[in-house]
Amino acid sequence: MGISIAKAQLLSIFTETLLYGVYFSLYWVTIIILLQRRRSGHTQYRRLIPVATILLLSATAHLVLDFVRIIQGFIESDDANAYYNNIPHPLHVAKTALYITHVTTGDCVLIWRCYIVYNKSLFVLIPPLIMSMADAVSGYYGTYILTKAGSAATIFNTGRVLILSFCSLTMSTNIFCTGAIVWRIYWTRRATVSTQHSLFYVVMAVVESGAIYTLGVLSSLIAYVAGSNGQYVALDIVTPLSGITFSLIIIQIHFHLYSKSQSTTAGPMTGIIFKQKSKCITSEEQNSSRTYPYSLKPSAFSSPSS
């Protein structure tokens, strides 16, 4: 086991609180950016504000439940280890269900990004959507199994297959969508040298955010397979990590791309503009040169308009 479940819960509440503080700060920066963009006429940002708020509220509720359990386990209970080993406990079941809801919501946002990037192609939507649905079913059914567990049951021998399936599917969904988005961005703009440097920041934002979340899920999966109580620490940090990755994509794209474009473009901006490369153009041709608008949805970069 390595460490006792009581020690693991103390480490868990510390790391989760630390990352929640980071997420809380990033949330407000994200909201300010989205509100500014919505005021400039980008009505699509109305969808992102409630999603960001739902992720924050679920992460907050998850942290509150952890604090309540800390009080009950270490103050009101005579044996903290026995308290935390009681997996059918209502608070533990509620916390697990909340975790499943939070992760599923984050996966759906990522699938939506991938869907938009590929111009609403059903061919790209179906595979991750199937994985996400199977992920949710395995997660919620595993939560139901916890309510039926006996007094001698542990998290390592109760619903093991369902737990492994949930972690594997959510990680696969993240890898699939992140890889698909990165490939789409690279493929559509590979021939335009003038935009490669700018798009590098977009690709890195997507890859870094996806890698952070994937490593969090992978660490919890490895700890669970190894039978270590350290999986509680890894599991609880996934909740704020999901919100952090959501916010980081929006913030990085805004500061690396939009702010740069805004400082070098006269007049109001309605999107990110990339000029078509040309060898030699006159001032008259420059004024009428073709541009390619891109919406500032997080990771939602469409193909050049014809």
pLDDT tens digit sequence for 72-123: 999 998 899 999 999 999 999 999 999 999 999 999 988 988 888 888 888 8
pLDDT bucket at 17, cuts 50 / 70 / 90: very high
In a domain, 190, yes or no: yes
Q: Which two tokens stand for residue 21?
A: 């503080």
Q: Which two tokens stand for residue 100?
A: 């499943």
In a domain, 9, yes or no: yes
pLDDT of residue 53: 92
Which of these, 281, 267, 236, 279, lies nearest to 62 by C-alpha position? Answer: 236
CA distance 209 to 99: 19
Number of domains in the chain: 1
Q: What is the domain extent for residue 95? A: 5-294
Q: Give Cα 80 to chain centroid, integer Å.
A: 32
- Residue 31: exposed, middle, or buried by beta-carbon count in 10 A (0-12, 13-18, 19+)? middle
Helix (H, G, I), strand (E, B) or coil at 93: helix
Instruction: Assess whether pLDDT exceeds 80 at residue 210.
Output: yes
Instruction: Assess whether pLDDT exceeds 60 at residue 285.
Output: no
In a domain, 303, yes or no: no
Which CATH number belongs to the domain containing residue 191 in this structure? 1.20.1070
In a domain, 305, yes or no: no
In a domain, 278, yes or no: yes
pLDDT of residue 192: 58
CA distance 288 to 278: 12
In a domain, 239, yes or no: yes
| Residue % of the chain over a pLDDT of 90 | 46
**What integer is the mean pLDDT of 36-64?**
82
CB atoms within 10 A of CB 107: 24
CA distance 110 to 298: 10
* Helix ranges restricted to H, 40-79: 48-71
Summarize pLDDT for 114-148 with one digit per residue, the tens.
888 888 888 889 999 999 999 999 999 999 999 98
Q: Which of the residue ranges 90-99, 253-262, 268-277 has the most confident prediction, judged by mean pLDDT? A: 90-99
* Higher pLDDT, residue 4 or 197: 4
Output the pTM of the full model.
0.78
What phi and psi, each to the nearest 5 degrees, are found at residue 291?
-125, 160
In a domain, 38, yes or no: yes
pLDDT of residue 185: 79
**What integer is the mean pLDDT of 7-20?**
94
**What integer is the mean pLDDT of 162-185?**
91
Which of these, 242, 256, 159, lies nearest to 201 by C-alpha position? Answer: 256
**What integer is the mean pLDDT of 201-230?**
86
Q: Which two tokens stand for residue 292?
A: 């390619």
In a domain, 300, yes or no: no
